[in-house]
Amino acid sequence: MRVSVPGKLLLFGEHAAVFGYPAVGMALSRGLTVALQPSKTADATSQPLTIEIGDTKEIPDTVIQRFVAHIETVARSFALSPLAGAITVTSELPIGSGFGSSAALCTAIARLLAPNSRDPHTTWRIAHELERFFHGTPSGIDTGLTTLGGVQAFHFEASDAPRRSNPSVDYAPLPATVAVHLPDCVLTVGSIPRERSTKELVALVGEQRRRAPDTVDAMLSQLGALGETLLRGDSTDSADHTVSFGRAASEAQTILRELGVSTSKLDEILEIGVKAGAVGGKLSGAGGGGAFYLVCAGEEEASRVRRGIEPVVTGAGGTVFSVATGR
Ligand code: MEV
């Protein structure tokens, strides 16, 4: 059985969502494929699950074995049959770069665990539980995008107020989603290798919030609110909407930088992109390097921006591509 799942690009609300503030993101056309070769015997205990992730040597066997054990625990908690056989993962996404490779893997495994489930929310819930392996307190937005696809805004229930005061205990239900129309524009998207993991970056923001709750909550709330810019699309001319989108992205980037989740290389790339003609841009995902996007009015601007940033991005060991948005 083969399952293909898209990657994701968070547009707004990373880190904010972990504490119950809104977020917006989109599924990417590139993603990850998981193929399961079932074991010949019906006895899952004598034929344990194995997972091979492309030609990636970066993921130690011990981590994969712990993930396999986590898959078993999640299967049991949903009363699903355990998986047995050999899983091979091939990815068009750079692994661990903010494009949702781990969320896409969790969604694909959730589909293997519950192949007959017609309810995407069931798949999302299973994927969300699987994603806890990668960082204990996922907000659910990454697996939401890789499961539901499209462009989605996420809103956590008002009953979560005063937000998720103890994010190490996930009391929050999965957020509600609303499909979003993006303005007609082109995103120049890329990623550079990460200096820190999502888990470390989420912990860093949590630590700052413990030290200065009011200041950090105001920053997280603003990060969530900036995403609302995208929800005004239906009442705004597309060119104006693109400008607001780009400006909101740069404003979010300033806050993310203040929170310490950007890097000087990301800041440099975004600055070059804006000088080359992008309306604005920001990191996407947990940061610490990783994914970013620059909002461009059209193809011509996007090519100029791409030409401008490519030497720095590739020099840092990263990649660049374009994503056209629109209705
Ligand atoms: C990571 O792609 C997004 C974070 O907000 C974590 C999460 O929402 O689970 C940093």
pLDDT score for 118 = 86
Q: Using a 6 Å cutoff on CB, does residue 128 contact ligand 1?
A: no
Task: Compute the distance from residue 94 Cα to the ligand 1 centre, in Å.
Answer: 17
Q: Using a 6 Å cutoff on CB, does residue 10 contact ligand 1?
A: yes
Predicted TM-score (pTM) of this structure: 0.93
* Phi, psi dihedral angles at 161 (to 5 degrees): -60, 145
Residue 165 has pLDDT above 80, yes or no: no
Task: Compute the distance from residue 300 Cα to the ligand 1 centre, in Å.
Answer: 32
* Predicted confidence (pLDDT) per residue in 53-83, tens digit: 876 666 788 999 999 999 999 999 999 999 9
Task: Compute the distance from residue 48 Cα to the ligand 1 centre, in Å.
Answer: 31
pLDDT score for 61 = 85
pLDDT band for 41, please (50, 70, 90 cuts).
Answer: low
Ligand 1 closest atom vs CA 202: 10
- Among all chains, which residue has been given the structure tokens 């923001």? 205
pLDDT mean across residues, the chain: 90
* Predicted confidence (pLDDT) per residue in 201-259, tens digit: 999 999 999 999 999 999 999 999 999 888 876 667 888 999 999 999 999 999 999 99
- Which residues sit opposite 27 in a β-bridge? 8
Task: Compute the distance from residue 18 Cα to the ligand 1 centre, in Å.
Answer: 6
Distance of alpha carbon 66 from alpha carbon 193, whole angstroms: 24
Buried b (16+ CB within 10 A) or exposed e, 67-102: bbebbbebbeeeebebbbbebebebbbbbbbbbbbb
Q: Using a 6 Å cutoff on CB, does residue 286 contact ligand 1?
A: yes
Residue 274 has pLDDT above 80, yes or no: yes
Distance of alpha carbon 296 from alpha carbon 44, whole angstroms: 51
Q: Using a 6 Å cutoff on CB, does residue 138 contact ligand 1?
A: yes
Distance of alpha carbon 81 from alpha carbon 75, whole angstroms: 6
Distance of alpha carbon 291 from alpha carbon 194, whole angstroms: 9
Q: Using a 6 Å cutoff on CB, does residue 191 contact ligand 1?
A: no
The distance in angstroms from the start CA to the end CA of the chain is: 33
Q: What residues contact residue 28 under an 8 Å CB cut-off, 6+ apart?
A: 6, 7, 8, 9, 93, 99, 100, 323
Mutate to test the pocket of ligand 1, among 12, 14, 26 (most ligand atoms within 8 A of CB): 14
pLDDT score for 234 = 63
pLDDT score for 56 = 63
pLDDT band for 166, please (50, 70, 90 cuts).
Answer: very low
pLDDT score for 43 = 60
Alpha helices in the chain (DSSP H): 61-77, 101-113, 120-131, 141-148, 198-211, 213-226, 238-258, 264-275, 299-315
